[in-house]
Chain A
Amino acid sequence: MRISSILMVVWCCVSSQVFATPHIQTWRTAQGAKVLFVENHDLPMLDVSVKFPAGSGYDAAEKAGVADLTNQLLKAGATELSEDDIARGMADVGAELGMAVDQDSAGVTLRTLSQAAQREQALAILAKLLQHPVFPEAILAREKARTIAALKEAETQPESIADKAFNKAVFGTHPYAFDAYTTPATVEAITQQAVQDFYRAHYQARYAVVAMMGDVTRAQAEAIAEQLTAQLPVSGEVAALPMVGSLTAASEQRITHPASQSHILIGAPGVARNDPDYDALYVGNYILGGGGFVSRLMDEVREKRGLAYSVYSYFMPLKYTGVFQIGLQTKKDQAEQALQLVQQVFAKFVAQGVTEKELRAAKQNIIGGFPMRIDSNRKILGYLSLIGFYDLPLTYLDDFTQRIEQVSTVQIRAAFARHLNPQAMATVIVGAPEIRETK
């Protein structure tokens, strides 16, 4: 009792620390793009992100891979700018252009010096490639060939084989699995027309989320947001994706591979970004397998038994229900032992939940570590983009520690029970040990 009251005192101190969260300004452009901006002049640089609901979930089954190619090909040329012009123009001013695609979104990021000459050149190029890309036929052919080569290579590597089999098992025919269904044949089927159509349908101003962080004024930021989105295509509404169904029964796939280790993945559809259970699941997962060296999985699998170098679990919250995954690699002859152990740890976790002590430790870490979530322009840009894309409240960062603080052991147990059923998990083992044919 004495110990716990001392801990409570420490706890209060932790939670009463006040951290200044960035002041987020937000508005919409004339064409309807959503803008989130943090003005900060500490460093002479500017980070920009423009995101669209144009992720692999919007692929068509027979043309899986089109979202990714469309995104990649934005830098393949625009009206009056060749691929080389874009590459040189950015490099000449030291700007960094990044492309990114996940299941929900696709977009670009730009990091540039904020001096007018550099900034204006980089933004002018970005504005062109976002709004007037030309998707040249020859470069499409080249990028298709590169994508196909990478796919074939991935088909030989245990980690990629496991990922694909796992995503298919978890999402079935839901579009969130399209990325895993991308094959040389689906990529081959992607025409220039298909890329143009995808671009016109998904890269619309009304869906765009522009995030900016750094050394420009509000007036400059407003002009930049217009510059980057005013001429985006206008077309019909993008159809919503179907809901992700739950798994109704356990499945297990064993795929042979000459690797020395078995790659084991266990999981199921987990949680959507806007689900009220998300915070409880996030905190609970920290205790299960998210908390680095101090999680239950790490303790049981690595610290106590030396069975693996890496063992983890995570929720990937998306617009619709995203994946929950437990993963590890271990040498083949102890794969069975490790698998059974992980299953036991997980089943016990779902059945019994977490202790007050574990919860306290989790909150101390997550809340105490909050300043590290927003200690750089890059990280803040990531949050701006996230808040904008998933329509999270603008106070998301201000409320963060309070939301975590409110999570209880009861909530964690109830949330896990609602979202995950240990009896209905998908399991994939690549580099599986030979099975003894016993009855």
Chain B
Amino acid sequence: MKIFWMVLGVLCAHVAQAAVFEHTLANGLKVVVKEDHRAPVVVQQIWYKAGSMDEVTGKTGVAHVLEHLMFKGTKRVPVGEFSKRIAAAGGRENAFTNTDYTAYFQQLHKSKLPLAMQLEADRMHNLQFSAGEFAKEIQVVMEERRWRTEDNPNSLLQEKMMAAIFQEHPYQHPIVGWMSDLQAMTVRDAQDWYRHWYAPNNATLVIAGDVQAKEVFALAQRYYGGIPKQTQAPRRVYTEMPQVGIKRLVVKAPAELPQLMMAYQVPVIRDPQKDTTPYALEILAGILDGNEAARLNKALVREQKVASDVGVGYDSNSRGPGLFIIEATPSEGKTAAEVELALRQQLLRLAKEGVSAEELNRVKAQVVASEVYKLDSVFYQAMQIGQIESIGLSHRTLAVMLEKLHAVTAEQVQQVAATYLQDDQLTVAVLDPQPLPKQGKPHSAGEFHAH
């Protein structure tokens, strides 16, 4: 315990050095700057509060399609030029779409920040839409869907599980979209999406690296300041009906081993200061799977050998409803049912007997250490700020959340396990592995070139 507080002290000293600054432009664009002077580099990330959960039935995948189209040019920066200019500046760039947000980033030498800002600001309001570029890009997105989901048993299982868990909430739809929606999508759909969501007052600009906050604010004003604010229709808020009983599904796919996913509907952070449950669930996830010595790996993989892999996922930060997900791959010869039983025994034991002080401290030691380790990645620090801002909370709550995590008690962990890991809120998805068809005789090169 002494060690723990000592480290926390050191940590706080470092956090104090690395201050975060924020400033909101008149058009509503919030700019957050994290100074980090260890290397002469900078990352720019722009986060739009528009993700797949803002899509409507029949148009799923449009948030992600638009993300692809954002590289297709403006009047001033023709198609392909964005990437070329960033590359010529020595930069790396990409983008990602999530259920809750869409984000774009560039990493460059600090002297190239104005270029990155100029390009990013330009495509915030000047994107050009062409039916020809759309027609090609939608094919690329369909290839991405085939690769990421359709031919990947684990993703397929997860996609179908999400669709089974949520009845009304858009989390039931995959981020990449359903294939038939992609097939039906038009350039107009993407354009509508862009017009609706891409505005300075629906975005957060995060700049991290070897910069001075004041200068960044001035640059932001220069490049983004002239983009007009947009009136935004109120966001549709979905209230998922309570789950009233266990759900089970089976997915067949070419594979050797079964897979098991157990997903419990649980709360997420809504009021960072007052909430306690989400923090206790975070610690619970750590107790079960947060380190090499954690319970599930020790019990199921190492001791009982009933599973060859096990993992737990819980994210207390999301705009939509939360899930506490346990995944496991049964060992050869074991069934998903046997693994489920073994997992349930562990959860029951925890709910009944609680967790030891030693386990709790071990998880908190991970929290402390990861707060230090994250300082080694400017990109990750910017990510954390962008994510929290995009779900409607301030980056300042990160410090609050850290305190709240450290305050979690063993009793609270036991209590949330007993309260929330209940069958009525559970969905169990099982991958039923299908053997591959027998191989025909291998074809030689000659046959291929014959036609």
Contact = CB atoms under 8 A, between A and B. Distances in A.
B215 interface: no
Contact of B40 (A19, A111, A305, A307): A19
A294 B39 contact: no
Contacts of A75: 292
Interface of B: 3, 6-7, 10-11, 14, 38-41, 71, 80, 83-84, 87-94, 107-109, 111-112, 135-144, 146-147, 150-151, 153, 254-257, 291-294, 298, 301-302, 305, 308-309, 329, 331-332, 361-362, 365-366, 368-370, 372-373, 375-378, 433, 435-437, 439-440, 442-445, 447-448, 450-451
Interface string A356-395: 0000010011111111101111100000000000000000
Contacts of B92: 292, 369, 372
A376 B36 CA distance: 11
A399 interface: no
A256 B71 CA distance: 35
A365 B107 CA distance: 12
Interface in A1-48: 14, 17, 19, 42-45
Contacts, number: 239
Contact of B373 (A45, A88, A364, A371): A45
Given A42-B38, A158-B151, A93 B365 contact: yes
Contacts of A142: 302, 305
B255 A153 contact: yes
B447 A308 contact: no
6 contacts: A45-B372, A87-B292, A252-B448, A307-B139, A364-B89, A368-B88
A212 to B, nearest CB: 15
Interface string A220-258: 000000000000000000000000000000111111111
Contacts of B305: 142, 145
Interface of A: 14, 17, 19, 42-45, 75, 83-84, 86-88, 90-97, 111-113, 115, 117-118, 142, 145-146, 148-150, 152-153, 155-158, 250-261, 291-294, 299, 302-310, 329-331, 361, 364-372, 374-378, 427, 431-432, 435-439
A103 to B, nearest CB: 24
Given A19-B40, A364-B87, A306 B135 contact: yes
B364 to A, nearest CB: 9
Contact of A118 (B3, B136, B143): B3
- 3 interchain residue pairs of minimum CB distance: A368-B90, A94-B369, A306-B139
A233 to B, nearest CB: 25
A287 to B, nearest CB: 11
A187 B368 CA distance: 39
A83 B370 CA distance: 23
B150 to A, nearest CB: 5
Most buried by B among A97, A153, A307, A329: A153
B336 to A, nearest CB: 14
